[in-house]
Amino acid sequence: MTTLSTMDAFDEQDLTVARTPTQEAWRRFKKDKLGLVFLVVIAIYFLVALWAGTFGWGGSYEVAGQTRPAYEASMGQLGIQLDGKPFPESQVPPTLAGGANTILGTDALGRSVFYRGLQSTKVAFIVGTFGALLSVVIGMTLGLLAGFLGGWVDRVVVFVYSTLASIPYLLLMLAIAFVVKKGDFADWYDDLKFRDFDVSDFISLGLLNLVVVIGLTSWVTLCRLVRAEVFKVRELDYVNAARSLGFGTGRILFRHVLPNVFHLVIINFSLTFVIAIKSEVILTFLGVGVDKEPSWGQTIAGAKNELMTGIWWPLATAGTLLFGLTLAVNYVGDALRDALDPKLKT
């Protein structure tokens, strides 16, 4: 029989504390101090996006200013004749004279770069979050089914993702985006109503198109990784024990197999989130992306002509905001992957 003195000899650190998987993952994640910092950065971006989507930033982005001869000259070089018509107010370089409106300067239309940068965060989060979620759901589901069921299911899934992988990713996105946005579907979508509500007023076709295109074209990598991992996990003892107890396929997949491959889902979500934001910039720059609301892609597309006249601040602002968000998401994704991976015990 264990005596009291023997129990007292145990150090408190020798006792194993029972934690749920979520509590254990959070305990391990908290050890990465830089990961916590970047998590706060993502939270700030999210709050900005939420505020922009819910309340906006109020007022006009117009800032009064004088016409710049350099701007007029650059328009002439591009073959754009003003013919006496009033043209946009001049760009104002970053200055504190106009308060928040001009703290990061104004663009070619006299709009505040600072406020447009904040508004663009909403588009980045919508495209990144929902595009990545759609991609993860497709890739995770097909990977689980292919790896666990095998047979003809596996052959069909492999054929589909091999076909998609053989097509250049950017060209596939461009083709789908161009067909949807420039075809008859665009006219149908503009007339689409839900009761008395115009659907296009809630989410523009360009934004919806980006989410769907990114989700449908970026799931291949996750599907391959999950499929390969499930091939190994399905032969482990605890899975065989679950089969012998008569558990159904769905329960085994989502209660026993998925938790052991979920770290792959987390890291892929963070990567796809970043890819989605970059894809928005590329597609918008090429004219088949977002068109009815501010985005970093629009800012960068407009800045290509402004650089000719030495107007660098719109591009610098969009690039810096894009860099900050992608860096934070990538680092937090890596930290979460390490915290959730059951093979790593720290």
Q: Give the CA distances from residue 125 to residues 113, 121, 264, in Å, rounded to whole numbers and listed in that order.
A: 19, 6, 21
**CATH classification of 32-55+120-340 is 1.10.3720.10, yes or no?**
yes
112, β-bridge pairs = 106
The long-range contacts involving 240-244, CB below 8 angstroms and separated by at least 24 positions, are: none
Q: What pLDDT does residue 135 have?
A: 92
pLDDT, position 90 = 55
Question: Domain residue spans in the chain?
Answer: 32-55+120-340
Cβ neighbors of 273 (< 8 A, separation 6 or more) are 128, 129, 131, 132, 329, 333
d(CA 213, CA 42) in angstroms, rounded, equals 24
User: Rounded to an integer, what distance in angstroms lies between the CA atom of residue 27 and that of residue 70?
Assistant: 57
What is the model's pTM?
Answer: 0.76
Residues 6+ apart with CB under 8 A from 82: 72, 75
> In the prediction, which pLDDT does 171 show?
82
Structure confidence at residue 236 (pLDDT): 77
Measure the CA–CA gap between 289 and 281, rounded to whole angstroms: 8
Residue 61: the pLDDT is 37
pLDDT of residue 63: 35
- Res 18: pLDDT: 61
**Checking phi first, is residue 91 left (phi over 0); if not, alpha (psi -120 to 50) or beta?**
beta
Q: What is the mean pLDDT of each run of 10 residues along the chain (346 residues)?
A: 48 52 76 88 91 60 38 45 45 73 76 84 90 92 89 91 85 79 64 62 73 88 90 80 77 81 84 89 82 82 77 87 91 82 60
